């Protein structure tokens, strides 16, 4: 593509030159005969802009679109733009296709991968059908299923075959094309650090995996998706060597995701059958299909296979799914800019000049809603996941510092009399500042170490640095094992001891990107032509606005406190560093020492002693449970001996004491034949259990409901076992006196 931005009085080039450049590219550089080229004038609209465009056609294939944006579309009509824009798009793969003369672009672009799949499956495509179908495929509007079916029907008519024959012929090839397209996309997405998940870009990676696997299942292939991705890496790596560098990481991600998909299929049948049972013959709607796909990973074709009710799958199903998952930019927390005037004076951010300054004087240039604005400040405002500095200003506590545009707002505790023109004396809470700097630098150390240990798919997904603890969210497909956690902690502390310099510099964006790549933007894209680059040498490089230690050795010890999977594809690492880590270690030591003292063992033998104690408790619990079971059996015999018989069925009505377990006793009674048990407990919160033997015909739920109605409680359950609670405990004895009559009535006896 090439673009031009024409401002008033300074035109770069527009229509004529754009078409000329395009024509020269195809005819002089690529050698296309001039008489073969066709240029069709059309109109283009998008994103609130519009203008004429030229479609570049060769042998019926649109190779490029040349757009000339001249207007803004407004409610009142079309308005000329001050700056006109040339926006071109050249189809690289279409040029490859047309140069090879293959039936479709897939054979030209994917070369041996398509052929290898065909050979392994023994598929010999009908070239005549494919060529004819390819001619109309480009005209298909995937937004409407009816349009797709109509074009397919017209293709079948032109070939003199029926619709079903066409689908039977092109279906396997469409599946092969899907597998090739999606496996290549996965190779590049995973190479760029995307982790399949249910959120953001990870969702689209997962969708590609599922669609590819669905097509593989349709073809009944014997190879894995990872096998195909491996072939794509082999084919494209001469031009993209980074694919080989990250091959192991890519293959691991695909294998894990493929395994999860087939595990999902094992659960899928019961999920779909439960849903169709609830629908009572009604068809599964599109919303339900998308819900099954999103929540359970079930492709619509799988749902149709497992379903007992009608399932209509639109041709644009995956397009509709993707539309629902279009990413929206997260709204940053902090002060709302529109609550503050646009003309606030800028603040010079002296904390970047020298973060070691902890006391200073400055002039007050504004007071806005009580917040003090200084001409320059060493107070760091909240941002980049790092909490704000605290301290004092003329002896008053500074309790919050925020940045709005280029203005730093200092919030003081209570009312103050500071006014514009005053000179104030400020002191930063140094222990807090240094601890926040340690935690922020530790985040970079952990991020770089995790990426080297787990793979290049690891990116920062979020972070927060407070004084006592901090956290770093990274993209990864599973939680860290205890061994990985220990390994990561050890590597981080090795980096601390290695005393790497932390180099900080403001650099032109283009220069920084060329030198360090897009991993600069771990915490999101930073605005501006000049960006602040924090380079923890040989560990991690990020565009970052936070304050850091100047060497890794100043971070002090780093402790990985815990890790957890907070959402699909994201792992949270909670950690502490410096004095916070030391305090944590001291607390742990105190805890172990106290435990050792109470157990009357040395701290070195606490673990085996604790394991021994837990095993003894477990054995004691087993003995108590066995004893309780024997006591329940004896009590059950006693209750059955005095039970009332109704039509040969023994009905046990019993108000349990605090020492008895009515639920366990209920099960002991009804494990025998011919028993109905109604057991209550008049505790602070009344409880009732109604159960029956397997050979007794009685629904326990209405019995329980009628008894609990007398107490003022409720409950539910199954026909053979119901339980309830609540209400007035003083009413339970009287309710139990009525229980036999309620059971008789339920049995149809008076």
CATH node for 342-421: 2.40.30.130
Instruction: Give the strand order in the sheet containing 77-90.
Output: 3-6, 77-90, 61-74, 49-58, 37-46
Tokens describing residue 191: 């190479």
Least confident of 515-524, 592-601, 685-694: 515-524
- Largest Cα separation within the chain, whole Å, is 107
- Average pLDDT over all residues of the chain: 89
Mean of pLDDT values over 185-210: 87
Question: Over 263-325, what HEC string results?
Answer: HHHHHHHHHHHHHHHHHCCCCECHHHHHHHHHHHCCCHHHHHHHCCCCECCCCCHHHHHHHHC
Banded pLDDT at 329 (limits 50, 70, 90):
very low
Residue of higher predicted confidence among 95 and 427:
427
Q: Does the structure show a pLDDT above 80 at 383?
A: yes
CA distance 564 to 555: 24
CA distance 396 to 596: 47
Mean of pLDDT values over 238-262: 91
CA atoms within 13 A of residue 481's CA, in its CB half-sphere: 5
Strand pairing report for 675-681 and 649-656: parallel
Which candidate, 641, 619, 621, places its Cα nearest to that of 629? 621
Residue 323's pLDDT is: 64
Banded pLDDT at 750 (limits 50, 70, 90):
very low
Banded pLDDT at 309 (limits 50, 70, 90):
confident
Banded pLDDT at 718 (limits 50, 70, 90):
very high
SS3 state at 13:
coil
User: What DSSP line would sit under 46-112, residue for residue?
Assistant: ETTEEEEEEEEEETTEEEEEEEEEEEEEETTEEEEEEEEEEEEEE-HHHHHHHHHT-SSHHHHHHTH
Q: Residues 177-191: pLDDT tens digits?
A: 999 999 999 999 999
Architecture of domain 4-97: 2-Layer Sandwich (3.30)
**Contact criterion met (CB below 8 Å) for 432 and 467:** yes
Residue of higher predicted confidence among 465 and 333:
465
Q: Is the pTM of this model over 0.85?
A: no
Tally helices (H) and strands (E) across the chain.
Answer: 23, 26
Q: Does the structure show a pLDDT above 60 at 143?
A: no
Q: Does the structure show a pLDDT above 50 at 508?
A: yes
What is 625-748's CATH number, 3.10.20.30, 3.10.300.10, 3.50.50.60, 3.10.310.40?
A: 3.10.310.40
According to the CATH classification, is domain 434-586 in 3.90.180.10? no
Residue 240 is classified by DSSP as: -
Q: Residues 213-236: pLDDT tens digits?
A: 989 988 998 899 999 999 999 999
646 strand-pairing partners: 649
Q: Does the structure show a pLDDT above 80 at 325?
A: no
CA atoms within 13 A of residue 487's CA, in its CB half-sphere: 11
Q: For the chain, give every domain's residue range.
A: 4-97, 104-326, 342-421, 434-586, 625-748
**Contact criterion met (CB below 8 Å) for 136 and 155:** yes
Tokens describing residue 126: 């009908």
Q: Does the structure show a pLDDT above 50 at 603?
A: yes
SS3 state at 214:
helix
Q: Does the structure show a pLDDT above 90 at 169?
A: no
User: What DSSP line would sit under 503-571, residue for residue?
Assistant: EEEEEEHHHHHHHH-GGGGTT-PPPSSEEEEEEETTTEEEE--S---SBGGGG--EEEEEEEEEETTEE
SS3 state at 493:
helix
Query: Residue 126 — φ and ψ, nearest 5°?
Result: -80, 105
Instruction: Give the strand order in the sheet containing 644-646.
Output: 644-646, 649-656, 675-681, 687-692, 721-725, 714-718
């Amino acid at each position: 593509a090439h673009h031009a931005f024409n401002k008033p009085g300074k035109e770069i080039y527009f229509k004529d030159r754009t078409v000329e450049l395009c024509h020269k590219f195809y005819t002089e550089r690529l050698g296309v005969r001039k008489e073969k080229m066709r240029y069709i004038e059309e109109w283009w609209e998008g994103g609130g802009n519009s203008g004429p465009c030229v479609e570049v056609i060769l042998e019926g294939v649109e190779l490029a679109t040349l757009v000339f944006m001249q207007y803004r579309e407004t409610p009142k009509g079309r308005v000329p733009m001050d700056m006109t824009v040339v926006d071109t798009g050249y189809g690289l793969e279409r040029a490859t296709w047309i140069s090879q003369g293959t039936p479709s672009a897939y054979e030209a672009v994917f070369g041996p991968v398509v052929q290898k799949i065909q050979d392994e499956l023994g598929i010999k495509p009908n070239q005549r059908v494919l060529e004819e179908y390819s001619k109309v495929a480009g005209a298909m509007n995937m937004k409407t299923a009816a349009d797709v079916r109509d074009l397919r029907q017209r293709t079948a008519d032109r070939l003199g075959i029926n619709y079903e024959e066409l689908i039977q012929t092109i279906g396997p090839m469409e599946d092969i094309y899907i597998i090739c397209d999606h496996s290549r996309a996965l190779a590049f997405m995973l190479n760029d650090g995307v982790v399949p998940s249910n959120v953001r870009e990870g969702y689209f990676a997962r969708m590609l995996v599922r669609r590819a696997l669905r097509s593989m299942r349709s073809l009944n292939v014997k190879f894995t998706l990872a096998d195909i991705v491996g072939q794509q890496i082999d084919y494209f790596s001469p031009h993209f060597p980074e694919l080989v560098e990250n091959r192991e990481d890519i293959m691991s991600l695909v294998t894990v995701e493929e395994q999860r998909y087939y595990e999902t299929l094992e659960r899928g049948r019961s999920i779909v059958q439960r849903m169709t049972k609830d629908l009572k013959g009604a068809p599964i709607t599109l919303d339900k299909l998308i819900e099954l796909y999103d929540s359970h990973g079930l492709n619509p074709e799988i749902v149709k296979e497992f379903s007992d009710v009608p399932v209509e799958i639109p041709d644009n199903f995956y397009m509709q799914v993707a539309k629902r998952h279009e990413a929206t930019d997260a709204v940053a927390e902090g002060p709302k800019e529109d609550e503050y005037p646009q003309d606030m004076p800028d603040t010079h951010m002296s904390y970047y000049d020298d973060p070691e300054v902890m006391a200073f004087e400055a002039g007050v240039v504004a007071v806005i809603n009580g917040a003090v604005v200084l001409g320059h400040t060493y107070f760091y405002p909240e941002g980049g996941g790092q909490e704000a500095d605290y301290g004092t200003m003329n002896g008053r506590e500074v309790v919050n510092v925020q940045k709005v545009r280029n203005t730093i707002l200092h919030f003081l505790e209570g009312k103050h009399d500071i006014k514009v023109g005053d000179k104030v004396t400020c002191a930063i809470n140094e222990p807090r500042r240094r601890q926040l700097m340690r935690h922020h630098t530790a985040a970079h150390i952990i991020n770089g170490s995790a990426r080297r240990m787990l793979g290049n798919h690891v990116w920062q997904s979020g972070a927060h640095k407070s004084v006592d603890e901090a956290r770093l969210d990274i993209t990864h497909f599973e939680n860290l094992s205890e061994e990985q956690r220990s390994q990561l902690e050890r590597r981080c502390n090795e980096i601390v001891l290695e005393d790497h310099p932390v180099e900080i510099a403001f650099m032109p964006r283009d220069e920084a990107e060329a030198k360090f790549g897009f991993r600069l933007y771990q915490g999101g894209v930073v605005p501006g032509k000049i960006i602040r680059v924090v380079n923890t040498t040989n560990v991690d490089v990020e565009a970052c606005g936070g304050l850091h230690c100047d060497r890794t050795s100043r971070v002090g010890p780093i402790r990985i406190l815990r890790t957890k999977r907070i959402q699909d594809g994201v792992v949270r690492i909670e950690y502490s560093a410096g004095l916070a880590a030391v305090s944590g270690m001291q607390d742990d030591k105190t805890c172990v020492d106290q435990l050792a003292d109470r157990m009357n063992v040395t701290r070195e033998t606490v673990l085996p002693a604790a394991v021994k104690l837990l095993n003894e408790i477990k054995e004691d619990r087993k003995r108590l449970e066995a004893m309780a079971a024997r006591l329940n059996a004896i009590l059950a015999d006693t209750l059955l001996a005095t039970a009332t018989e109704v039509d040969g069925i023994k009905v046990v009505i019993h108000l349990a004491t605090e020492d008895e377990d009515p639920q366990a006793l209920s099960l002991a009674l009804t494990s025998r034949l011919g028993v109905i048990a109604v057991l209550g407990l008049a505790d602070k919160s009344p409880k009732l259990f109604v159960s029956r033997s397997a050979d007794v015909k009685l629904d326990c739920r209405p019995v329980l409901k009628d008894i609990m109605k007398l107490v003022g409680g409720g409950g539910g359950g199954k026909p053979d076992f119901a339980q309830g609670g609540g209400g007035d405990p003083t009413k339970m004895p009287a309710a139990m006196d009525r229980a036999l009559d309620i059971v008789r009535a339920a049995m149809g006896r008076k």
